[in-house]
Structure 1
């Protein structure tokens, strides 16, 4: 199979200098909140795809024999399927498995547990995959925080697909988020094996402090921990757990902590978590970091996620009505147009835009976004984020996390409830599949986001305006929220730690002007020398590239993650220079299959 960069064999790595010997004293403190669950995965149930292979991952989600009571093995297989398809473009035109990547069978073992930081209220998941072909003479460990708020397998399409076939172990973490939804009416949550259990009958992934309300509690929003502020600690603790499990696996008779190369790698929130860990890693736990489209900011540089998400939620529906977006995918969906026109009227009434008609108001909203740093390519791609109502979902969830709110006291009147797409209560089969199918941020998978609406022509305005005022206002809650956001800022990493970042110039969720670019500039100002790849025609969601008319305009971002991992590995293994910072010469895929020339290598 062809690769974007030459595949580096593991054999030469044994001759390279080992990592720092100071690591055992530098590991982030944590303790296990559960026993370690060890499982074996061989034959038709491997580590990388649970036996599905590329064809199975491309097919529909695997069914459960008993939909209301799936087995742990069935839940694991479906979770792996969901997380591959939530992150990667596996479509026939996307080049996966031909131009880059692959899904070979990788037999091995898994070690999973709930862990908890000393000052935390809720646990986080950690899971180590150790392939049978693990090379104990040149050991490597990838630390893979989940993208978004996904469950523990949320980085398998990047870290697992790159590392496991090379004989590296991979330790995953949900970094304090995940899909262990708690049903406040039935008093059930998710056990370590993914099955649902009643509170008190088993250790659960998430148990809210109180169950004196109804609906659904979500760990990211309702743990009371502001997990984003601890992402870096979750990553370093996961590295510690991974090294411990390598010792437990009995592969050799001396500890792995002193000579294992540890690479943190992540996408989106996972990329931000990896960079947060880099900023805390003064003692040399990490050998290098690869971050794709990271949700990251440094104090005084760029804009924080909550700031631009709540701005986008208010302004983008109106701005996208500007005529320049007439041919933009998702910008002219008929069902959205009345609400978007009503948004222009709401903005005009609030004094946020000017103009006597929709055209003038849309132009005014667009100019306001530009003044805040939004670029036109980002705004155009963000039509998808806006059409799918992601801004509201992210804003409500993150506001609750920053304020450490309970499920019954989310800001601005929001709450989560177990409802299907038909508006009826989610059935037992839907609830049983939450751990495998959900993304960690409702709505979706039978959990609805309710509240924050009214009966006006612009029903979501009231809730979104309330969320925005938590950023711009001076109430007690607003000040508390900004304090919570400030706690998430990344620190500058130690000198000499390789940092490799790639971001699409069309990222419509985490705009490059607010995240990747200012982070890299902060590092350069501090005397660091990160590798930074700007990727024209790449956006945030590779999984969206199969949507009609959308993939035509873009290239996937995942190939650049694999390529940067290859380059970092060459640097660590042979001393090869790290790749230079550059803007890739990409070309939109169009209606044909992706080819190598489109990627700009």
Structure 2
């Protein structure tokens, strides 16, 4: 594959502005206040980058003092070096994706190594820095990133602005990483939802192009050691969540360009027993889980069940009126909703951890965004009438301010709501206002309308195949994952790969849920262990195997011990040793 990389730029990051933490260090990353912009309405490239790194570290890792990051596992050591960024386009796509390569000054020329990764969720280009950067950069590896066609390149339709490659606001379409020409339009266009490209179908190609960009960047940065190619440079892929799904899609691509893969809690769709697509179970959860949680004991806090109980009870009543649950009172309706979810494959631990996704309205966010992406609907053509915009106090759309706009690229997660951008629900009505829109979203799963067929076609294009023969693959998943339940994703993927005679290793981690970043909440930190230590350990063991110094990780059900009110230590994690 020959890729044309557009708008390339490079920058030097040393001293008080390193590659891994932008000079913030552990204490700066832990700060509750984001790094400020000198002009709140106009970030400089350095300011936008520093704040994006702060935001993405905090979204992925547990940096709380009792969580053990940087002392028990992981690293926030300053890593000086150079950074290269560009835009790349996969065949057939209308819009590019971002690619970035970080090359440490201590790059190991004797053991040439590239760690290639994809952002988790729909995050921007720094969305996997705590996953791949924290492991690869201190070891002297270059780290290559892709936002896999999603990211935080929001378009302000009112102001006709987007974001340049350097993360600053631009009104010049030719400079924007994502642009929509829509004179007179209002609101916000989000790349994942509104590019018209169904980026998930090309996740593997996004990862491959990021690896290619790494080789080009290394040629430029280290000309005396060039050429760098896949024959003389080791490439290991790693990712979490959607990033985990992306590296598994990369694993199925032909050629010997990739040496190993570690996929954490992957969002991956296969045809196998028990498998369910993200859109299927997300829309089911959006409808049923608020009610079902009233019948689940010992919910983690927050969200606080006592505060949410009236809202969840209203959902139970709505479900009963629609004939989707049984029972003459709220407790009976909640048990009916819970039983229905368990019959569909949800485990008790996944339901309990799913309370976080309900509390933050994440199921609706996923369903709205992915319906647009799968069906390739424009910003103003969502089949269920949803739009995206800045909102006023009454939740009505309004133009964004210049200060809000300046922070989108750094602060956003790639899907609304967040960073001052919300979901506009044209169907909202009645005592359970989200219900009409959610029913519409759910109907797209198996309906026969034109819109439903478009969504179903998009979903089918995301189906994963088995990894390349002989490629080492390790899958790591938390048994308590409530966002991407292991039973719907990793378990059927591993089963399907093994049925195709592929040697995939599988770590199942007890007491681990989906969001390490939320372990800073006391009750979550007390009852759940982080998943990142197991990703790093799997990378360590895979690297030792490639070096001829150990075996591939053996399958394991890892019996962890939550830390409660104590500080995390090795006895809580019980990471499997290398053979």
Bin of the TM-score, shorter chain as denominator length: over 0.9
Aligned to 1:348: 320
Answer whether contact 2:85 2:101 (CA < 8 A) is retained: yes
Answer whether contact 2:416 2:423 (CA < 8 A) is retained: yes
Aligned to 2:221: 249
Answer whether contact 1:232 1:278 (CA < 8 A) is retained: yes
Query: Aligned in 2, Cα 1:108/1:326: closer, same or farther, shift over 3 Å?
Result: closer
Aligned to 1:6: none
Structure 2 residue corresponding to 1:124, chosen from 73, 83, 97: 97
Aligned to 2:22: 50
**Alpha-carbon separation, structure 2, partners of 1:125 and 1:455:** 39
SS in 2 for 1:89: coil
**Alpha-carbon separation, structure 2, partners of 1:241 and 1:121:** 20
Answer whether contact 2:158 2:399 (CA < 8 A) is retained: no
Answer whether contact 2:245 2:268 (CA < 8 A) is retained: yes
Structure 2 residue corresponding to 1:493, chosen from 464, 467, 490: 467
Runs of 4+ off more than 4 Å:
420-425
**Alpha-carbon separation, structure 2, partners of 1:101 and 1:568:** 17
Aligned to 1:524: 498
Answer whether contact 1:434 1:445 (CA < 8 A) is retained: yes
Answer whether contact 1:31 1:118 (CA < 8 A) is retained: no
Deviations 1:454-477 (A, max 9, x none): 231111000111000000211111
Answer whether contact 1:378 1:511 (CA < 8 A) is retained: yes
The alpha-carbon deviation at position 478 of structure 1 amounts to 1.1
Structure 1 residue corresponding to 2:36, chosen from 53, 56, 63: 63
Superposition map of 1:195-274 within 5 A: 195-200=168-173, 202-257=174-229, 258-274=231-247
Answer whether contact 2:83 2:101 (CA < 8 A) is retained: yes
SS in 2 for 1:517: helix
**Alpha-carbon separation, structure 1, partners of 2:450 and 2:391:** 33
Answer whether contact 1:180 1:435 (CA < 8 A) is retained: yes
**Alpha-carbon separation, structure 2, partners of 1:287 and 1:263:** 6
Superposition map of 1:20-31 within 5 A: 27=1, 29-31=2-4
Superposition map of 1:400-439 within 5 A: 400-419=372-391, 425-439=399-413
Structure 2 residue corresponding to 1:390, chosen from 358, 362, 366: 362
Q: Which moved more, 1:324-333 or 1:53-62?
A: 324-333
**Alpha-carbon separation, structure 1, partners of 2:299 and 2:193:** 36
Aligned to 2:112: 139
The alpha-carbon deviation at position 284 of structure 1 amounts to 1.2
The alpha-carbon deviation at position 555 of structure 1 amounts to 0.3
Structure 2 residue corresponding to 1:461, chosen from 411, 420, 435: 435
**Alpha-carbon separation, structure 1, partners of 2:59 and 2:135:** 17
Deviations 1:418-448 (A, max 9, x none): 2367856542111101100100001010101
The alpha-carbon deviation at position 572 of structure 1 amounts to 0.9
Q: TM-score, normalised by structure 2?
A: 0.96
The alpha-carbon deviation at position 566 of structure 1 amounts to 0.3
Aligned to 2:155: 182
**Alpha-carbon separation, structure 2, partners of 1:349 and 1:420:** 32
Aligned to 1:290: 262
Aligned to 1:378: 350
**Alpha-carbon separation, structure 2, partners of 1:327 and 1:214:** 40
Structure 2 residue corresponding to 1:150, chosen from 113, 117, 123: 123
SS in 2 for 1:151: coil
The alpha-carbon deviation at position 332 of structure 1 amounts to 4.1
Q: TM-score, normalised by structure 1?
A: 0.93
Query: Aligned in 2, Cα 1:394/1:161: closer, same or farther, shift over 3 Å?
Result: same
Aligned to 1:472: 446
**Alpha-carbon separation, structure 2, partners of 1:378 and 1:118:** 38
**Alpha-carbon separation, structure 2, partners of 1:579 and 1:374:** 28
Matched, 1:308 2:281: yes
Answer whether contact 1:420 1:445 (CA < 8 A) is retained: no
The alpha-carbon deviation at position 249 of structure 1 amounts to 1.2
The alpha-carbon deviation at position 146 of structure 1 amounts to 0.4
Matched, 1:513 2:484: no
Answer whether contact 2:126 2:145 (CA < 8 A) is retained: yes
Answer whether contact 1:136 1:251 (CA < 8 A) is retained: no
SS in 2 for 1:574: coil
Answer whether contact 1:421 1:446 (CA < 8 A) is retained: no
**Alpha-carbon separation, structure 1, partners of 2:251 and 2:184:** 40
The alpha-carbon deviation at position 575 of structure 1 amounts to 4.7
**Alpha-carbon separation, structure 1, partners of 2:56 and 2:190:** 18
Answer whether contact 1:267 1:293 (CA < 8 A) is retained: yes
Aligned to 1:164: 137
SS in 1 for 2:334: helix
The alpha-carbon deviation at position 548 of structure 1 amounts to 3.0
SS in 1 for 2:561: coil
Equivalent residues, number: 570
Q: Which moved more, 1:220-229 or 1:56-65?
A: 56-65
Structure 1 residue corresponding to 2:551, chosen from 567, 577, 588: 577
Superposition map of 1:320-335 within 5 A: 320-322=293-295, 324-325=296-297, 327-330=299-302, 332-335=304-307
Q: What value does the CA root-mean-square deviation take over the aligned residues?
A: 1.4
Aligned to 1:362: 334
SS in 2 for 1:412: coil
Query: Aligned in 2, Cα 1:313/1:133: closer, same or farther, shift over 3 Å?
Result: same
**Alpha-carbon separation, structure 1, partners of 2:3 and 2:361:** 37
SS in 2 for 1:433: helix
